[in-house]
Amino acid sequence: MPEPRPIIFIVDDDASVRDAISNLLEAVGLRTKSFASTEAFWKEQRPDVPSCLVLDVRLPGASGLEFQQTLIKHGISVPIIFITAHGDVPMTSRAMKAGAIEFLMKPFQKDDLLAAVRQGLDRDRVRREQDAEVAALKAKLAQLSQREREVMDLVVTGLINKEVGARLGLSEVTVKIHRGRVMQKMEATSLAELVRMADKLSAHP
């Protein structure tokens, strides 16, 4: 399956800056979509493709930094590249700690913007792959029966069948059968792989 074409969102209240950034990104072959305000961006139906957001810090109403918090709170993990004319250090570090890709000072150089955009898209791709993987794992997990789920939870902690049986009040043979089904349904080829799957699932509940 070919990768869907990524998109760069641009939010800046200044039409000149907005137009310039989108023109530059389009010149290097990227797809862009511009917004004059965070509200307009928020209302937009965003396509399910790798994307990143070029966000002005100083905006009328809520600032870019506040909008970053709003996105995090709503679980929207689009990578953000901040652009600002007033790059004071506390602001920068706050944004970076909250996961921003880059903090660019206006006027910025082409290479800095493009590098940041590429990094943002890469990070979004990785995130999308992880999300897809987790979604697939969750689908598999949903196929397990209650008992199989209990067996899996104990097996991945490193307990042997006998101990699992003792905990759950089952015979060792029964545990073995459940365990086989777990491995089959989760499509795990080894215990080590099953443990990794369990880790991923617990990291993304």
10 binding another protein? (CB under 8 A):
no
Radius of gyration over every alpha carbon of the chain, rounded to an integer in angstroms: 23
How many other β-carbons are positioned within 10 Å of the β-carbon of residue 12?
25
- By CB under 8 A, how many residues form the interface with another protein? 23
How many other β-carbons are positioned within 10 Å of the β-carbon of residue 68?
23
157 binding another protein? (CB under 8 A):
no
Round to whole Å and give the CA distance between 114 and 92.
19
Residue among 107, 158, 169, 205 that touches another protein (CB under 8 A): 107
90 binding another protein? (CB under 8 A):
no
Q: Which residues contact 54 (CB under 8 A, 6 or more apart)?
A: 8, 9, 10, 11, 12, 21, 81, 83, 113, 117
User: Between residues 107 and 158, which has the closer beta carbon with respect to another protein?
Assistant: 107
User: Between residues 19 and 133, which has the closer beta carbon with respect to another protein?
Assistant: 19
Q: How far is the CB of 63 from another protein (least distance, A)?
A: 9
Q: How far is the CB of 184 from another protein (least distance, A)?
A: 53
17 binding another protein? (CB under 8 A):
yes
Q: Which residues contact 83 (CB under 8 A, 6 or more apart)?
A: 12, 17, 21, 54, 55, 56, 57, 104, 105, 106, 108
Choose the binding region for another protein from 21-29, 152-160, 161-169, 195-203 (rule: CB under 8 A). Answer: 21-29
Largest CA distance in the chain: 73
Residues that bind another protein (CB under 8 A): 14, 16-17, 19-21, 23-24, 26-28, 58-60, 83, 85-86, 106-110, 113
